[in-house]
Amino acid sequence: MKKRIFIGEETAKGYTRREFLKYLELAGISVTIGGAGFFAGCSNKVDSLAGAKEFITRCGLCGSDCGMKTYIKNDRIVAVVPNKDDPNSKGFMCDMGLANVEQTYSPDRILNPGKRVGDKWVDISWDEALNIISEKLSKLKIDYGPQSTVCHYGVTEVRAPFYRQLFRRFSNVYGTPNFTGCGSQCAVSTMMAKKYSIGSVHPDYENTKCMVQWGSNPSSSSLLEWFSKVLPARERGAKLICIDPRANPMTQMADIHLKPRPGTDGVLALAMTNIILGNNLYHTDIAEKYGVGFSEYEELVKKYKPELAETITGIPAKDIINATMMYAENSPACIETGNALELHINGVQTIRSVMLIQALCGNVNVKGGMISSGEKVRLTDMELDDYKPFTSKGYSADRYPVLWQSRKMVTANLLPDTVLTGKPYPVKALMVIGGNPIVTGPNSSHQRKAYKKMDLVVVYDLFMTETAKMADIFLPATSCLERDNIKIRDRIYISPKVIPEQGNAWPEWKLWFELAKKMGYEKEFPWATLDEAIDEHLSPINITAADLRENFNGIDHPLKSGNMKELEEKIKTPSGKIEFHSQTLADAGYNPLPDYVEPYEGPADKKLLAKYPLLMTSGIRIPYYIHSQFRNLASLKAKSPGPVIEMNPADASSLGISEGNNVSISSLRGSIQAKAQLNKSLKSGIVAMSHGWSKSNVNELTDDSAQSLDPISSFPGYRGFLCKVEKV
Partner 1 sequence: MKRSEKKNLKILPLRRISQISIILLIIAVPLYSQNPYNGSPSLIVKGQLPPPAISKVSGDTWSFSIGNFSIIHPTAFFDFVFSAKSVSSSMLIAVLIPLLITLLFGRVFCSWLCPIGFILELTTKINAFLKKKGLTREIRIKNFRFVILATSLITAFLFGFPVISIFDPSHLLGREFSMIFTHQEVSVAGLIFLLAILVFEILFVSRAWCRYFCPSGACLSLIGVNRIYKIRTDQKECVSCNLCRSVCPYNLEPDKIVNYTTLQSAVCDNCGLCRDSCPKGAISYNLCFDK
Partner 2 sequence: MKNTGMLATTVSFPILRSKEDVLRPPGAASDFLSKCIRCGKCVEACPYDSIRLLGADSGLNIYTPYIDPVKTPCYLCRTTGTDGKSKPLGKYLRCGKACPTGALKPILNDIEVLSKLPKEMKIGTANLNRKLCVAWQFSFCGECYFNCPLKDRALLSRPPDEEVSRSGISPYVNQKACIGCGRCVFVCPVRKFNAKFINETNVPDYFQLRYGALVERIIAQNRDNAQLPAIRVLKNKSDR
Q: In 3D, which of 235, 234, 227 has the Cα closest to residue 211?
A: 234
The helix (run of H) or strand (run of E) holding residue 530 is helix 530-538
The helix (run of H) or strand (run of E) holding residue 222 is none
Quick one: which of 11, 44, 311, 561 contacts partner 2 (CB under 8 A)? Answer: 44
**Contacts of partner 2 in 135-174 (CB under 8 A):** none
Binding mask 32-61 for partner 1 (x = CB under 8 A): -xx--xx-xxxxxxxx--------------
Contacting residues for 389 by C-beta, under 8 A, at least 6 apart: none
**Applying CB under 8 A, does 34 fall inside the site for partner 2?**
no
Instruction: For strands 578-579 and 291-292, give the pairing.
Output: parallel
Binding mask 678-707 for partner 2 (x = CB under 8 A): -xxxx-------x-----------------
DSSP, collapsed to helix, strand or coil, labels residue 608 as helix
DSSP, collapsed to helix, strand or coil, labels residue 457 as strand
Amino acid at 374: G
**Which of the stretches 10-18, 284-292, 454-462, 505-513 binds partner 1 when contact is defined by CB under 8 A?**
10-18
Instruction: For strands 67-73 and 53-58, give the pairing.
Output: antiparallel
Quick one: which of 57, 62, 71, 274 contacts partner 2 (CB under 8 A)? Answer: 71
7 binds, among partner 2, partner 1, none (CB under 5 to 8 A by kind): partner 1
**Contacts of partner 2 in 223-242 (CB under 8 A):** 223, 226-227, 231, 235
H-only helix segments in 599-670: 606-611, 634-637, 649-654
Q: How far is the CB of 246 from partner 2 (least distance, A)?
A: 5
Rg of the chain (C-alpha set): 31
The helix (run of H) or strand (run of E) holding residue 476 is strand 473-476
Quick one: which of 1, 11, 561, 566 contacts partner 1 (CB under 8 A)? Answer: 11
Binding mask 635-664 for partner 1 (x = CB under 8 A): x--x--------------------------
**Applying CB under 8 A, does 65 fall inside the site for partner 2?**
no
Q: Round to whole Å and give the CA distance between 537 and 545.
A: 10
Of 12 and 634, the one with the shorter C-beta distance to partner 2 is 634
State the angle between helix axes of 265-278 and 317-329 in degrees (0 to 180), rounded to the nearest 10.
60
Quick one: which of 27, 122, 564, 586 contacts partner 1 (CB under 8 A)? Answer: 27
Q: What are phi and psi of 546, to 5 degrees?
A: -60, -40
Quick one: which of 59, 61, 62, 94 contacts partner 2 (CB under 8 A)? Answer: 94
Count of chain residues binding partner 2 (CB under 8 A): 46
The helix (run of H) or strand (run of E) holding residue 308 is helix 306-313
Q: How far is the CB of 387 from partner 2 (least distance, A)?
A: 44
8 binds, among partner 2, partner 1, none (CB under 5 to 8 A by kind): partner 1
**Applying CB under 8 A, does 561 fall inside the site for partner 1?**
no
Quick one: which of 72, 124, 191, 247 contacts partner 2 (CB under 8 A)? Answer: 247
Q: What are phi and psi of 485, to 5 degrees?
A: -125, 120
Of 12 and 117, the one with the shorter C-beta distance to partner 1 is 12
The helix (run of H) or strand (run of E) holding residue 152 is strand 149-153
Amino acid at 230: V
Supply the DSSP symbol for 86.
Answer: -
Q: Note the residue count of the chain.
A: 728
**Applying CB under 8 A, does 1 fall inside the site for partner 1?**
no
Q: How many helices (H) and strands (E) does the chain have?
A: 30, 29
**Applying CB under 8 A, does 435 fall inside the site for partner 2?**
no
**Which residues of the shown chain bind partner 2 in the complex (CB under 8 A)?**
44, 46, 49-52, 71, 79, 81-82, 84, 89-95, 98, 219-220, 223, 226-227, 231, 235, 246-249, 251-252, 620-624, 638-640, 646, 679-682, 690
**Which residues of the shown chain bind partner 1 in the complex (CB under 8 A)?**
7-13, 19, 23, 26-27, 29-30, 33-34, 37-38, 40-47, 635, 638
